[in-house]
């Protein structure tokens, strides 16, 4: 029984899969931060999901924020988890006695999104994806690429880190020091900082303020500008992913996609507008290539569970 985990800064999600790849158990627990806390959180989640499924883990895959050197199980710079560097695979492998794979959470979610898409009533011919990108719109912006059923990691595991591509030299200053990065336009943290008002859901508040008549003129203008930046940032990310890797579909996920069609409809419109003047862009049908990850899908945990399979333990028909 494969177990997969998505270890986030507030919660850890775990799924257990049967031999056919179906989710037979799913649990969510709070994450304890720091190296020891993260390891303890993972072990507790593995125990709980195994108990709930009535089976025993034969492999464990873990998706977590931070950098993972390709081919290693070492996570580094996982700031949100309070982890500087941790050999997660070695520690857990020794404790659990089963193969342990570790992957960046966005890349794991990309693999999960590819599997979910094939399992769903097929929108693609034969259900096979020649290439899929998962674009995570959360605190930051990053993407994961999947082709031939496997994660594309690149030379140093940086593939998909498009958040720090600048698409406007006169755009807002990014935390990275550049101006007009995709993340400075479309990242949840950047939008909240530019909005500058305390809010539980700042991006939703920005959309409300941009659309509502009840706020004063200045607030409304700022909200409108922030919303426009978010939309053009996401549209730019989609163009980058398709024109560079020519993925067949870009699946949008992450916290900001709770906005649903309020976000997706203007992004589609922006992509259609660039096609109006450019026959080349129009021929790519960019607006038709974006999809929302179904709300509540455990994409990262599911993808993490399949990391070993992707490595060649068994064959999966995920395109």
User: Is 158 among the residues that bind its own copies (CB under 8 A)?
Assistant: yes
Applying CB under 8 A, which of residues 69, 176, 221, 269 lies at the interface with its own copies?
176
Whose Cβ is closer to its own copies: residue 21's or residue 160's?
160
Minimum gap (Å) between residue 301 Cβ and its own copies: 24
User: Is 184 among the residues that bind its own copies (CB under 8 A)?
Assistant: no
Residues 76-105 contacting its own copies, CB under 8 A: none
Q: Which stretch binds its own copies (CB under 8 A): 58-66, 103-111, 170-178, 303-311?
A: 170-178
Tell me the three-class secondary structure of the chain, residue by residue. Answer: CEEEEEECCCEEEEEEECCCCCEEEEEEEECCCCHHHHHHHHHHHHHHHHHHHCCCCCEEEEEECCEECCCCCEEEEEHHHCEEEEEHHHHHHHHHCCCEEEEEHHHHHHHHHHHHHHHCCCCCHHHCCCCEEEEEECCCEEEEEEECCEEECCCCCCCCCHHHCECCCCCCECCCCCECEHHHHHCHHHHHHHHCCCCCCHHHHHHHHHHCCCCCHHHHHHHHHHHHHHHHHHHHHHHHHHHHHCCCEEEEECHHHHHCHHHHHHHHHHHHHHHHHCHHHHHHCHHHCEEECCCCCCHHHHHHHCHHHHHHHCCCCCC
Whose Cβ is closer to its own copies: residue 165's or residue 204's?
165
Whose Cβ is closer to its own copies: residue 32's or residue 76's?
76
Minimum gap (Å) between residue 184 Cβ and its own copies: 12
User: Is 291 among the residues that bind its own copies (CB under 8 A)?
Assistant: no
Whose Cβ is closer to its own copies: residue 20's or residue 155's?
155
Residues 237-256 contacting its own copies, CB under 8 A: 239-248
Q: Give the residues lining the site for its own copies (CB under 8 A).
A: 130-131, 143, 145, 147, 152-162, 164-170, 174, 176-178, 236, 239-248, 274, 276-281, 284
């Amino acid at each position: 029984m494969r177990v997969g985990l998505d270890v986030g800064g507030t919660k850890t999600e775990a799924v257990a899969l049967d031999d056919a790849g179906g989710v037979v158990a799913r649990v969510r627990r709070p994450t304890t931060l720091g190296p020891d806390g993260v390891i303890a959180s993972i072990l507790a989640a593995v125990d709980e999901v195994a108990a709930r499924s009535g089976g025993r883990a034969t492999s464990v895959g873990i998706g977590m924020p931070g950098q993972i050197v390709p081919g290693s199980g070492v996570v580094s710079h996982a700031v949100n988890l309070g982890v500087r560097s941790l050999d997660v695979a070695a520690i857990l492998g020794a404790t659990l006695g089963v193969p342990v794979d570790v992957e960046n959470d966005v890349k794991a979610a990309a693999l999960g999104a590819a599997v979910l898409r094939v399992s769903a009533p097929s929108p693609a011919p034969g259900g096979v994806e020649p290439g899929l990108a998962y674009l995570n719109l959360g605190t930051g912006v990053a993407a994961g690429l999947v082709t031939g059923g496997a994660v594309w990691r690149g030379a140093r595991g940086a593939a998909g880190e498009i958040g720090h591509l600048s698409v406007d030299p006169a755009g807002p200053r990014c935390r990275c020091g550049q101006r007009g990065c995709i993340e400075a336009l479309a990242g949840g943290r950047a939008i909240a900082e530019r909005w500058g008002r305390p809010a539980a859901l700042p991006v939703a508040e920005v959309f409300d303020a941009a659309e509502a008549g009840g706020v004063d003129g200045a607030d409304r203008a700022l909200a409108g500008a922030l919303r426009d930046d978010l939309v053009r940032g996401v549209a730019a990310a989609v163009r980058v992913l398709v024109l560079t890797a020519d993925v067949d579909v870009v699946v949008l996920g992450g916290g900001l996609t709770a906005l649903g069609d309020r976000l997706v409809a203007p992004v589609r419109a922006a992509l259609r507008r660039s096609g109006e003047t450019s026959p080349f862009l129009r021929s790519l049908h960019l607006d038709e290539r974006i999809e929302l990850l179904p709300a509540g899908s455990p994409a990262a945990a599911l993808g993490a569970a399949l990391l070993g399979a992707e490595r060649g333990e068994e064959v999966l028909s995920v395109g």
